[in-house]
Amino acid sequence: MNYQEILAQYADKPGGMIEAFHAIQEKLNYLPQEVIIEAARVFDKPVAQAFGVATFYSMFSTQPRGKYVIRICESAPCHVAGAAEVVAALEQELGISMGESTADGLFTLEFTECVGQCQATPVITINGAPYLDVTPARVAGIIMACK
Amino acid sequence: MINVTIDGIKASVPDGSTILQAAKDVGISIPSLCYHPDQSVKANCRVCVCEVEGNRLLQAACSQPVYEGMVIKTRTPKVIEARKTILELILSHHPQDCLNCIRNENCELQSLAAEYFVRSNPFELKVRGLPKDLSTPSLFRDPDKCVLCRRCIEACTVVQTVNALGLEGRGSHAMVVPSLGLDLIDSPCIMCGQCIHACPVGAIGEVEDIDKLLAAIADPETIVVTQIAPAVRLALSEEIGMDTGALPMEVFVAGLKQIGFDHVLHTNFTADLTILEEGNELLKRLTSGGTLPMFTSCSPGWINFCETFYPDLLDNLSTCKSPQQMFGSLVKTYWADKMGIAPKNIFSVSIMPCVAKKYEAARPEMTASGYRDVDIVLTTREIGRLFRMSGLDFTKLPPQPFSPWMGEYTGAAVIFGATGGVMEAALRTVYEVVMEETLEDVNFTIARGFEGIKEAAVDLKGTVVKVAIAHGLSHARKLMDQVRAGESPYHFIEIMACPGGCVGGGGQPITKANFKRIERLDAIYIEDEAMPIRKSHENAEVKKIYEDFLHEPLGHKSHELLHTHYHAKHKRFL
């Protein structure tokens, strides 16, 4: 199903733009410009507003992302538990900085707010799945398992 | 009414008042930044916080409605400390280059920092380092200076329904951006500049052309000729410390001569000429089955809007160039010839209440004279800066006359600067042309005032001509949608992009509220009333140009020099 068909599915739903964006991002990993322009047309909103929606929610990205989106919680409990060291390990393992994607298109590193798993900090998520009690030492193994 | 106590003063204020409004009623001004008297409440800057008895937390005065028995304290030590901290936090993200800023000494944040004696900032300065947007010839954006009040967004989306500006991101990452985060020129922006008036700081401003003027004045070969738009004089007074409308026209001329302009002429001359051309165009359309309703074409922000959002209605636009561009093509042909000046030596400057005029002057088709018809456009604000720099005392400057051939004008031209003015001026002339009798009372007061949409019907020898007037593009859109649906009852529609018409133009002195626009409207009609001649077709220099040069309205020469065509903008998105 292409993005036009997905948008059409949600066109009549109140607040359907957000759901359509989720469904499209599921396929494309991000929301390209033409998707935002077309969504504005389908939902009869100015493009500036559709862009506002696409950038307001941290779950959406308007930049191309890797196949695996790794998000590190930057909220206080993870911070106290050593999220910074996990960030450093991930950056070193993948050779990219936070917010960037690897050249092979496999990995993207992003920050996220609390994902509600504070019983086992630091927490990362990979394509939405949580990994608990992450330590720098575990990072290489987690990455390898993805590949 | 609701009884409240503000700083110990007991007052009875209207139901639904906010603390800010109630305090104003009793003579207490609460500082604000994101608050705008003509816009919705935003309550995002928090500068207006006050103490309310019984509330642990400070309340935002702009959004908190009063209730019976409310006891408000607007300047306790706690309040002052909170406001000062809020200012320091805003300033910690704001470039510290007030001296170089276009809004220096006219900035709401700067004023607040002065009022709250912010001398040093405990917070580390963190400026984002975002690039300036210099993509349009009319406006620039300097996003680092943005304080995220969102007033520009409301001006763009609600007042003008252009939707060029919006938000990107959220929280501390939020930014005001043109659509999709692109440059302004790639957005649907129509360059009206209403965002400039809305901005409390220097995050949006006009592209300045003062240096180009000074270079032309410095060149002995160049003859610097200027035209002044109808709405400029009365508002310029505000820029030089006078009351609205107080600067006499001939003293304005004298000031321009002092600065080094060789000849001062008037856009009002071509405003009168526009009425002859546009009035006849309307009559022709009415009698020969032309496209109706006809839209006025004086406002370049409106032209951009029509080309962007209503490209299917371009045939409805009058083919008349705006008075600025008519002037531009005539000054390097007719006037140059009359004065015996080589057109290549003429530097044609136009003084406008408008930033969209800068874009209009740069349109590739505006070269009917064989040269660029209008070399540069300076806004009222830029002339204000020049005058302040000049050190002139306008109470002592002896008046000077306009140069000949294109300086005479009537009251009908004067009112071009007001919403409804072009319509009223046109009716004064069309009435006399059609009825072949003298119009005794020239005041079509039905065309005046600040209502968003005005309408009228005029009986011309049994033909009832229905007209409508809109200012501010949200109002224009309603009339346009009617036309698009084939349901418009009108024959002639005047549209001005900016609220109030040119008096509220994007190049006028920073206009914080609509009441200022209304004050300027009043000044316009006082000027019209005082004019000895108030009908465009009685302008002697206009009669002369038809005798000597143009021969007839809508004639061959007119088509060559005074009329134009429009192009759909084909924006990639809206």
Per-domain boundaries in chain B: 2-91, 128-206, 211-561
From the candidates A31, A34, A47, A112, which should be mutated to test the interface with B, based on the most B CB atoms within 10 A?
Answer: A47
B238 is catalytic: no
Residues A91 and A130 in one domain: yes
pLDDT for the residue B463: 86
CA angle in degrees (0–180, nearest 5) for B78-B79-B83 = 120
B311 to chain A, closest Cα gap in Å:
17
CATH code where residue A127 lies: 3.40.30.10
Contacts of A52 in chain B (CB under 8 A): 166-168
Confidence of residue A96 (pLDDT cuts 50, 70, 90): very high
pLDDT for the residue B328: 97
Chain B residue set in contact with A, beta carbons under 8 Å: 157, 163-170, 177-181, 187-188, 572-574
Which of B167, B169, B180 is facing A47, going by the closest CB pair? B180
Q: Quick check: B320 and B563 in contact, CB under 8 A?
A: yes
pLDDT single digits (tens) B356-395 = 999 999 999 999 999 999 999 999 999 999 999 999 999 9
Q: What is the mean pLDDT of residues B111-133?
A: 96
pLDDT single digits (tens) A65-79 = 999 999 999 999 999
pLDDT for the residue B374: 98
Between the alpha carbon of residue A91 and those of residues A94, A125, B324, B399, B557, the distances in Å are: 5, 15, 59, 72, 71
From the candidates B153, B161, B163, B179, which should be mutated to test the interface with A, based on the most A CB atoms within 10 A?
Answer: B179
Contacts of B574 in chain A (CB under 8 A): 40, 46-47
B307 is catalytic: no
pLDDT for the residue A29: 87
Residues A126 and A106 in one domain: yes
Count of domains observed in chain A: 2
For residue B445, give the DSSP letter: G
Residues A81 and A137 in one domain: yes
- Amino acid symbol at B2: I
Task: Share the mean pLDDT of chain B.
Answer: 96
- Comparing A23-32, B63-72, B219-228, the range with the smallest average pLDDT is A23-32
What is the model's pTM?
0.94
Residues A21 and A77 in one domain: no
Chain A: residue whose CA lies nearest to B167: A52
Residues A7 and A43 in one domain: yes
Q: Quick check: A47 and B179 in contact, CB under 8 A?
A: yes
Distance separating alpha carbons of residues A120 and A112, to the nearest angstrom: 16
Q: Quick check: A48 and A126 in contact, CB under 8 A?
A: no
Q: What is the mean pLDDT of residues B54-68?
A: 97
Q: Is the pLDDT of residue B518 over 90?
A: yes
**A63 located within any domain:** no
pLDDT for the residue B468: 97
**A20 located within any domain:** yes
Q: Which CATH architecture has domain B128-206?
A: 2-Layer Sandwich (3.30)
For residue A24, give the DSSP letter: H
**A125 located within any domain:** yes
Q: Which CATH architecture has domain B2-91?
A: Roll (3.10)
**A61 located within any domain:** no
Query: How many other CB atoms sit within 10 Å of the CB of residue B123?
Result: 12
Q: Do B179 and A51 touch (CB under 8 A)?
A: yes
Count A/B contacts: CB-CB distance under 8 Å. 50
Residues A80 and A127 in one domain: yes
CATH class of B211-561: alpha beta
Residues A96 and A34 in one domain: no
pLDDT for the residue B460: 86
B298 is catalytic: yes
Q: Do A48 and B572 touch (CB under 8 A)?
A: no
pLDDT single digits (tens) B85-98 = 999 999 999 999 99
Distance separating alpha carbons of residues B62 and B43, to the nearest angstrom: 6
Chain A: residue whose CA lies nearest to B176: A52
Residues A48 and A108 in one domain: no
Percentage of chain B beyond pLDDT 70 is 100
Q: Is A49 on the interface with B (CB under 8 A)?
A: yes
Q: Quick check: B248 and B256 in contact, CB under 8 A?
A: no
Residues A96 and A126 in one domain: yes
**A28 located within any domain:** yes
Residues A33 and A87 in one domain: no
Percentage of chain A beyond pLDDT 70 is 100
Distance separating alpha carbons of residues B317 and B297, to the nearest angstrom: 6
pLDDT single digits (tens) B421-477 = 999 999 999 999 888 999 999 999 999 999 999 999 998 888 899 999 999 999 999
- Comparing A112-116, B92-96, B237-241, the range with the smallest average pLDDT is A112-116
B281 is catalytic: yes
Confidence of residue A147 (pLDDT cuts 50, 70, 90): confident
pLDDT for the residue A59: 85
pLDDT for the residue A1: 81
Q: Which of B314, B206, B286 is nearest to B565 (CA)?
A: B314
For residue A101, give the DSSP letter: B
> What number is the ipTM of this complex?
0.90
Residues A35 and A88 in one domain: no
Residues A47 and A97 in one domain: no
Q: What is the mean pLDDT of residues B217-232?
A: 97
- Contacts of residue B15, Cβ cutoff 8 Å, sequence gap at least 6: B1, B2
Range of the domain at A17: 3-56
**A139 located within any domain:** yes
Rg (CA), chain B: 25
Confidence of residue B297 (pLDDT cuts 50, 70, 90): very high
Confidence of residue A146 (pLDDT cuts 50, 70, 90): confident
Q: Is the dihedral of CA B505, B159, B302, B545 positive or negative?
A: negative
